[in-house]
């Protein structure tokens, strides 16, 4: 690999790491906001405790959900209920931006690989669907994520 | 036996049917939670008894049937509603309905196929019902029990195969002949007696469970009768009389044998509704309705109770009821199942068990009623044999022309040969009915789960050409059989292909077995079992092999593409040396961009299936033989054999979208060929040659049926003599041993206009790959695929 291509590959990796972290953090912030603001979202969380792990390459972040708190944590979980591995993080994010609840579409297009009880995947999709219905997917953290992600991806594409 | 055409009526003759049809066509699909609510409520209150699964399921079904509100709509002559709505979608949280969970909040707003959902029902489903089933679905039970086995991990990738048993036991024909002739009370009493006499605890539990289930259906009918009586006090005198007649019928059937055609139809439909509460409402088919109904219709005619027009109205009301439910398809899966009805097939015509011609006046009535309604349900399947009356065959062709899509045609000689080759007795093979899309099965005696495995043959070829690596995902899925450069002879290529095929087949069968076992443990099905011959004698549920005949069905996707690809490589790379192997590999990676000459060679110089070319046909036949051999190595979960078929639902576009460029010249993401049909555009030698190629396929190895799609322009058939030419084509195809043939008769321009103005064409029917669909309800990709299909020229 030439020096230029090597540098570019490293830069891509950095972008992907950043994107993954931003995605999980934005998810956590938006979900937590919805939990505070939306009674239907709180009802959907009743009795629900789960740790999701999102990985891309060597990078992992967790989304920890409980009825009274939703947060993001860096690193691998000791025991995750559900793990999503992104094969193509950028394509997956762009697809999610088009339709955040279309998790089945991500599977069909081979953009992700998952491990665990698919109940957790679809329940996560439901929570996102609730965000969408309330317009909270356009909340500040999500807007920032999409804006930031789009800018990054556009920059990479034009480069 | 009486044959020939019966009277043809325009729809205007039957104002009631016109109103019922219109009500169905304009109805918006509503998601119905009642069944899921009651089912879940029962288990929350009673617990999930793992010790006695059969009784557990029977009690749950009884709870649902005892509490489901009866729904009777205006004008109906046959009552019983699958859901609480005119057009509803059921939810089965114990199976795979949770795939819709993410879409619940936005279901009503989605662009394609929106589904109405009450906000309170959305919360009930999302917050209470789905969470309860977290560890109790068939899929999760199998996954945990097998420690997340490779076969199920691969299933979740959805590229290589789909396994339908996660979604319940479907694709079956209950023994409706017995329901009509003997009634459920007799079966229930027998079950009770057997439960007392049984020495085997499982058999005793099974008989007790079937007894409970059958009694629940009888009570369910009683509740409908009471509802009809209640409503009769609130309506006009003429409608009140109708409702009282329906109530009287329901006070007799399905408990007792039906005495009239009306009672028979009411009995069958009410049992169908009850079965839909027990198992997923997919492809639960009716079998040979003309054979079941004719004795009662004949008696009605003789006694003066009914005339042909009255019978047509009754049958029409029954057919319209079949459309009262529709599958709930998540947005992403629209690529796979979009526009599909639940595919309740009705079979008419063909040989009787004794080998006589079975066409009777009810056959013709069913054909005429299907034609005047022109709805996607039922999926009407007409059987033909070498001695079928010519007038009957011509009536079928006329009906296809008028409806644009129905019925589909089946060749008895080929089907019977196929079933006999799989252990079905000749008498029973002659008594076959069609299930779902195109699958012939001995009616009422078989647990065949004909849609158990949908298998992507093109993925096998991709693994072969890439040393076992799946190019789209980069995963090492298959064994290392050598990179493309190393496959430098036809022998090496075929050996690699066969290893990859065997590997994927082994995984698909393993997954199917795991899901079947999970199903037997979690969701045995006592009501359906009570209506399948053999279970009473064996004392076993159909999920445990209790049926007279057991098999599992496989539908292969990509036959023509793979056959053409193998032929092209052999002819142009190994024999003609017109294309270097390295060049072929590069062309596939680049999706033929910059390799236009290579693509042109592949498409124009190689022999292709569908042109009556001996070389291409031989490759196709050898492929079918090899696929059958591979599946034959694996017993089914219930000790039967796998039955392989070549039909694709809309999976030829779904799998096609996930498949790279192929050596046939097909580009990345394009649809694969549908069913056993030649690749679109390949059948350049005309319809006779295309049909000759398909008729040459070995029927005995295609017992799960084929979908053989052809398209004819309506304008062409309107020309003098053209319908007779089509009739001759049909005759010759089946005389040469053809198994199945189905037509879409629409002009390309009409289809394009329907894309532009769907509201004006909402009842425009087409054949997809097996089933009949409203063109405008299909997703754009499958619409385009149908438009692009080769148009036969006569």
A156–chain B nearest CA distance, Å:
22
- Contacts made by residues B634-637, CB under 8 angstroms, sequence distance 24+: B634/B505, B634/B506, B634/B509, B636/B509, B636/B512, B636/B513, B636/B516, B636/B550, B636/B551, B636/B552, B637/B512, B637/B513, B637/B516, B637/B517, B637/B520, B637/B552
From the list B102, B143, B159, the residue facing A122 with the nearest CB is B102
Give yes or no for B668 touching A (CB within 8 A): no
CA distance B335 to chain A (A): 10
B159 CB within 8 Å of a chain A CB = yes
Question: CA of B142: which chain A residue's CA is closest?
Answer: A117
How far apart are the CA of A91 and the nearest CA of chain B, in angstroms? 13
Residue B98 is given by DSSP the state G
Strand pairing of B740-745 and B709-712? parallel
* pLDDT confidence bin for A69, thresholds 50/70/90: very high
Residues B530 and B214: beta-carbon distance below 8 Å = yes
Q: Which site among B102, B108, B333 would you substitute to test the A interface, given the most A Cβ atoms closer than 10 Å to its Cβ? A: B102
Residue A97 lies in a domain: yes
The percent of residues in chain B predicted with pLDDT above 90, rounded, is 87
Min Cα separation B517/chain A (Å): 18
Are the CB atoms for B487 and B573 separated by under 8 Å? Answer: no
Question: Residue A48: closest CA among chain B residues belongs to which residue?
Answer: B131
Which chain B residues touch A44 with a CB distance below 8 Å? 123, 126-127
Residue A159 lies in a domain: no
Q: Do A126 and B654 touch (CB under 8 A)?
A: no
HEC string for B232-256? HCCCCHHHHHHHHHHHHHHHHCCCC
Tokens representing B303? Answer: 């006694």
Are B501 and B521 a contacting pair, CB within 8 Å? Answer: no
The three-point CA angle B269-B763-B76 to 5° equals 30
The token pair at B655 is 């799998």
Q: Is B660 on the interface with A (CB under 8 A)?
A: no
Do B105 and A113 make contact, defined as CB atoms within 8 angstroms? no
The partner residues of B325 in beta bridges, in order of sequence, read B88
- Identify the closest residue of chain A to B93 by CA–CA distance: A119
Chain A interface, Cβ < 8 Å to B: 40, 43-44, 46-48, 87, 99, 101-105, 107-110, 113-115, 117-119, 122-126, 128-130, 132-133
Interval B266-287 mean pLDDT: 96
Which phi and psi angles does B732 have, rounded to 5°?
-65, -40
One DSSP character per residue, A20-46 reads HHHHHHHHHHHHHHHHHH-HHHHHHHT
On chain B, the residues whose CB falls within 8 A of the CB of A128 are 102
Please state, in angstroms and rounded to a whole number, the distance separating the CA atoms of residues B83 and B30: 9
In this complex, is the C-beta atom of B658 within 8 Å of any C-beta atom belonging to chain A? yes
pLDDT at B5 over 50: no
- Give the strand pairing for A112-116 and A82-86: antiparallel
- For B608-640, what is each residue's pLDDT tens digit? 999 999 999 999 999 999 999 999 999 998 989
pLDDT digits over B571-590, tens only?
A: 999 998 899 999 999 999 99
Whether cis (ω within 30° of 0) applies to the bond prior to B628 is: no
Here the tokens at position B201 are 């605890």
* CA proximity to B345, closest of B448, B434, B429: B434
B residues 378..407 contacting A (CB < 8 A): none
Q: Which residues pair with A84 in a beta bridge?
A: A54, A114
Q: How far is residue B525's CA from residue B213's CA, in Å, rounded to a whole number?
A: 10
Q: How far is B103 from chain A (nearest CA, A)?
A: 6
Spell out the residues 6+ positions from residue B509 whose beta carbon is closer than 8 angstroms to its own: B453, B631, B634, B636, B642
Closest approach of chain A CAs to the CA of B93, in angstroms? 11
B437: tokens are: 């899309």
How much is the pLDDT for B336?
Answer: 62
A104–B331 C-beta distance less than 8 A? yes
Distance between CA atoms of A39 and B424, rounded to whole angstroms? 59
B295-337 confidence digits (pLDDT tens): 999 999 999 999 999 999 999 999 999 999 999 988 877 766 6
Q: Do B127 and A46 touch (CB under 8 A)?
A: yes
pLDDT for B452 equals 96
* Domain total of chain A: 1
Using H for helix, E for strand and C for coil, what is the string for B379-397?
Answer: EEEEEECCCCCHHHHHHHH
Q: Report the candidate in B645, B607, B636, B629 with the shortest Cα–Cα distance to residue B739.
A: B645
| Separation in Å, CA of A159 to nearest CA in chain B | 22
Residues 6 or more apart in contact with residue B26 via CB below 8 angstroms: none
Q: Is the pLDDT at B665 greater than 50, yes or no?
A: yes
Res B474: pLDDT: 80
B632-654 confidence digits (pLDDT tens): 999 998 989 999 999 998 889 88
Report yes or no: B600 and B475 within 8 Å, Cβ to Cβ.
no
pLDDT of residue B538: 97
Instruction: Pick the residue of B94, B96, B105, B330 with the most A CBs within 10 A to test the interface with A by mutation.
Output: B105
Please determine, for residue A98, whether its predicted confidence score (pLDDT) is greater than 60.
yes
Distance (Å) of CA B421 to CA B629, B634, B642, B682, B700: 14, 17, 12, 31, 6
CB A104 to CB B123 under 8 A? no
Q: How far off is chain B from A119, nearest CA to CA, in Å?
A: 6
Contacts of A107 in chain B (CB under 8 A): 156-158, 332
Count Cβ atoms within 10 A of the Cβ of residue B602 and give its class: 0-12 exposed, 13-18 middle, 19 or more buried. buried
The pair of three-digit structure tokens given for residue B483, joined into one six-digit string: 């990179």
CA distance B250 to B263: 8
Q: Are B377 and B322 in contact (CB under 8 A)?
A: yes
Yes or no, beta carbons of B332 and A108 under 8 Å apart = yes
Q: Which residues contact B333 (CB under 8 A, 6 or more apart)?
A: A104, A108, B99
Contact between chains at B101 and A125 (C-beta distance less than 8 A): yes
Would an 8 Å CB–CB cutoff place B124 in contact with chain A?
A: no
As a whole number of angstroms, the distance between CA B665 and CA B644 comes to 26
Alpha-carbon distances of B787 from B335, B611, B748, B752, B778, rounded to whole Å: 16, 21, 6, 8, 12
Pairing mode of beta strands B469-470, A112-116: unpaired
Candidate from A146-155, B104-113, B379-388, B464-473 with smallest mean pLDDT: A146-155
Give residue B448's pLDDT. Answer: 93
Least confident of B5-9, B30-34, B785-789: B5-9
Q: For every residue of B560-618, which 3-state class applies, written as one string?
A: HHHHHHHHHHHHHHHHCCCCCHHHHHHHHHCCCCCCHHHHHHHHHHCCCCCCCCHHHHH
Strands B345-349 and B287-288 turn out to be: parallel
Is some CB atom of chain A closer than 8 A to the CB atom of B44?
Answer: no
Is the pLDDT score of B705 beyond 60?
yes
A102, A113, A126 member nearest B331 (Cβ):
A102
Beta-bridge partners for A63? A52, A72
For residue B165, give the nearest of B542, B704, B558 by alpha carbon. Answer: B542
Q: pLDDT-based confidence at A148, cuts 50/70/90? A: low
Instruction: Write the CB contacts of B350 (distance below 8 Å, at least 6 apart in sequence).
Output: B288, B358, B383, B384, B385, B388, B410, B412, B430, B432
Count interface pairs A-B at CB distance under 8 A: 98
Q: Is the pLDDT of residue B1 over 60?
A: no
A119 contact residues in B (CB cutoff 8 A): 98, 130, 133-135, 137, 140
The number of C-alpha atoms within 13 Å of B449 and in the hemisphere containing its C-beta is 31
With CB atoms and an 8 Å threshold, state whether B130 touches A119: yes
pLDDT greater than 60 at residue B3:
no
Distances (CA, A) of A61 to A101, A127, A153, B305, B390: 20, 19, 20, 74, 70
- B130: which chain A residues are within 8 Å (Cβ-Cβ)? 119, 122-123, 126
Question: Any chain A CB within 8 A of the CB of B106?
Answer: yes
CB atoms within 10 A of CB B355: 14
Instruction: State the alpha helices, DSSP H only, in chain A.
Output: 3-37, 39-45, 89-98, 103-108, 118-133, 140-158
Q: φ and ψ at B284, to 5 degrees?
A: -80, 110
The answer on pLDDT for B2 being more than 50 is: no
- Domain range for residue A146? 3-150
With beta carbons less than 8 A apart as the criterion, state whether B379 and B346 touch.
yes
Tokens of B731: 């005759």
Give the Cα separation of B137 and B93 in Å (integer): 8
Question: Residue A42's domain is classified under what CATH number?
Answer: 3.30.1050.10
Query: What would the two tokens of residue B289 be?
Result: 């309705």
pLDDT at A45 exceeding the cut of 80: yes
- pLDDT, one tens digit per residue, over A4-23 is 887 887 888 888 899 999 98
pLDDT at B399 over 50: yes
**Chain A residues with CB-CB distance to B113 below 8 A:** none
Angle between helices B201-232 and B53-67 (to 10 degrees): 0
| pTM summary value | 0.94
Q: Please compute the mean of the pLDDT values over residues B341-359 and round it to a whole number.
A: 96
A126 → closest Cβ in B102, B153, B473? B102
How many angstroms separate the CA of residue B140 from the nearest CA in chain A? Answer: 6
* 3-state SS record for B345-411: EEEEECECCCCCECCCHHHHHHHHHHHHHCCCCCEEEEEECCCCCHHHHHHHHHHHHHHCCCCEEEE
Whether A129 and B104 lie within 8 Å, measured CB to CB: yes
Residue ranges of domains in chain B: 149-166+452-521+554-706, 287-440+708-794
B765: three-class secondary structure by DSSP: strand
User: Which chain B residue lies closest to A46 (C-alpha atoms)?
Assistant: B127
Which of these ranges, A97-106, B205-214, B728-737, has the smallest mean pLDDT? A97-106
In a mutagenesis test of the B interface, which of A40, A99, A104 is the best target, namely the one with the most B β-carbons within 10 Å? A104
Cα angle B23, B24, B26 (rounded to 5 degrees) comes to 70
Give residue B736's pLDDT. 96
Range with the poorest average pLDDT among A52-56, B8-12, B128-132, B706-710: B8-12
């Amino acid at each position: 690999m030439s020096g230029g291509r090597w540098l570019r590959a490293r830069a891509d990796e950095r972008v992907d790491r950043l994107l993954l972290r931003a995605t999980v953090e934005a998810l956590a912030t938006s979900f937590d906001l919805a939990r505070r603001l939306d009674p239907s979202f709180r009802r959907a969380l009743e009795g629900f405790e789960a740790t999701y792990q999102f990985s891309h390459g060597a990078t992992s972040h967790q989304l920890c959900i409980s009825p009274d708190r939703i947060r993001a944590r860096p690193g691998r979980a000791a025991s995750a209920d559900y793990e999503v591995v992104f094969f193509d993080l950028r394509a997956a994010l762009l697809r999610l931006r088009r339709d955040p609840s279309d998790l089945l579409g991500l599977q069909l297009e081979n953009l992700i690989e998952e491990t665990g009880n698919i109940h957790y995947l679809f329940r996560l999709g439901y929570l996102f669907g609730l965000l969408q219905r309330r317009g909270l997917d356009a909340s500040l953290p999500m807007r920032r994520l999409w804006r930031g992600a789009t800018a990054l991806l556009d920059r990479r594409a034009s480069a | 036996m009486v044959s020939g055409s019966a009277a043809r009526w325009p729809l205007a003759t039957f104002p009631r049917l016109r109103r019922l049809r219109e009500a169905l066509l304009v109805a918006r699909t509503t998601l119905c939670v009642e069944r899921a609510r009651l089912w879940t409520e029962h288990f929350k209150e009673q617990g999930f008894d793992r010790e006695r699964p059969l009784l557990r399921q029977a009690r749950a079904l009884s709870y649902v049937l005892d509490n489901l509100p009866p729904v009777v709509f205006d004008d109906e002559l046959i009552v019983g509603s699958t859901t609480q709505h005119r057009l509803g979608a059921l939810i089965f949280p114990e199976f795979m309905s949770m795939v819709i969970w993410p879409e619940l909040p936005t279901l009503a707003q989605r662009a394609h196929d929106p589904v109405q959902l009450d906000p309170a029902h959305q919360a009930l489903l999302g917050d209470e019902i789905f969470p309860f089933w977290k560890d109790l679905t068939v899929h999760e039970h199998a996954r945990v029990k097998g420690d997340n086995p490779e076969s199920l991990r691969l299933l979740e990738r959805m590229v290589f195969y789909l396994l339908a048993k996660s979604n319940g036991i479907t694709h079956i024909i209950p023994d409706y002949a017995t329901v009509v002739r003997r009634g459920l009370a007799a079966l229930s009493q027998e079950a009770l007696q057997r439960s007392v006499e049984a020495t085997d605890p499982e058999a005793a539990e099974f008989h007790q469970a079937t007894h409970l289930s059958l009694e629940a259906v009888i009570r369910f009918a009683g509740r409908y009768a009471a509802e009809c009586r209640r409503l009769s006090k609130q309506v006009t005198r003429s409608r009140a009389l109708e409702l009282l007649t329906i109530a009287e019928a329901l006070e007799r059937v399905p408990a007792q044998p039906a005495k009239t055609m009306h009672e028979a139809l009411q009995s069958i439909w009410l049992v169908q509704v009850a079965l839909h509460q027990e198992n997923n409402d997919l492809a639960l088919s009716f079998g040979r309705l003309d054979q079941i109904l004719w004795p009662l219709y004949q008696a009605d005619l003789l006694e003066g109770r009914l005339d042909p027009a009255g019978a047509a109205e009754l049958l029409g009301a029954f057919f319209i009821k079949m459309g009262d439910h529709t599958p709930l398809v998540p947005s992403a899966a629209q690529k796979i199942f979009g526009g599909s009805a639940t595919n309740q097939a009705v079979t008419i015509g063909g040989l009787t068990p004794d080998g006589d011609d079975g066409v009777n006046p009810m056959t013709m009535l069913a054909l005429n009623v299907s034609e005047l309604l022109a709805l996607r349900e039922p999926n009407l399947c007409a059987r033909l044999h070498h001695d079928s009356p010519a007038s009957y065959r011509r009536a079928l062709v006329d009906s296809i022309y008028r409806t644009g899509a129905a019925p589909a045609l089946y060749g008895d000689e080929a089907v019977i040969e196929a079933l006999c080759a799989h252990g079905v007795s000749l008498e029973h093979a002659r008594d076959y009915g069609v299930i779902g899309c195109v699958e012939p099965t001995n009616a009422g005696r078989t647990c065949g789960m004909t849609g158990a495995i949908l298998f992507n043959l093109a993925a096998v070829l991709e693994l072969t050409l890439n040393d076992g690596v799946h190019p789209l995902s980069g995963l090492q899925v298959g064994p290392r059989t050598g990179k493309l450069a190393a496959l430098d002879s036809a022998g090496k290529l075929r050996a690699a292909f066969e290893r990859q095929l065997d590997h994927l087949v082994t995984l698909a069968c393993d997954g199917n077995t795991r899901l079947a076992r999970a199903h037997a443990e979690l969701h045995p099905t006592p009501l359906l079992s009570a209506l399948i011959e053999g279970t009473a004698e064996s004392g076993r549920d159909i999920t445990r092999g209790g049926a007279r005949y057991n098999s599992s069905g496989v539908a292969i996707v990509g036959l023509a593409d793979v056959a053409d690809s193998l032929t092209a490589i052999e002819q142009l790379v190994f024999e003609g040396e017109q294309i270097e192997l390295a060049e072929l590999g590069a062309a596939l990676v680049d999706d033929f961009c910059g390799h236009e000459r290579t693509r042109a060679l592949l498409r124009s110089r190689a022999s292709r299936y569908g042109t009556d070319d001996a070389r291409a046909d031989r490759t196709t036949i050898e492929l079918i033989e090899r696929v059958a051999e591979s599946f034959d190595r694996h017993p089914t979960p219930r000790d039967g054999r796998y039955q392989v078929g070549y039909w694709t639902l809309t999976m030829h576009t779904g799998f096609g979208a996930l498949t790279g460029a192929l050596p046939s010249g097909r580009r990345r993401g394009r649809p694969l060929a549908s069913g056993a049909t030649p690749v679109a555009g390949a059948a350049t030698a005309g319809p006779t040659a295309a049909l000759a190629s398909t008729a040459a396929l070995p029927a005995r190895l295609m017992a799960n049926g084929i979908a053989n799609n052809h398209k004819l322009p309506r304008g062409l058939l309107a020309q003098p003599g053209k319908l007779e030419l089509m009739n001759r084509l049909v005759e010759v195809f089946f005389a040469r041993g053809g198994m199945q043939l189905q037509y879409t008769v629409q002009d390309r321009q009409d289809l394009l206009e329907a894309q532009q103005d769907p509201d004006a064409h909402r009842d425009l029917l087409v054949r997809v790959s097996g089933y009949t669909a409203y063109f405008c309800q299909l997703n754009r990709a499958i619409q385009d695929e149908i438009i692009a299909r080769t148009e036969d020229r006569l």
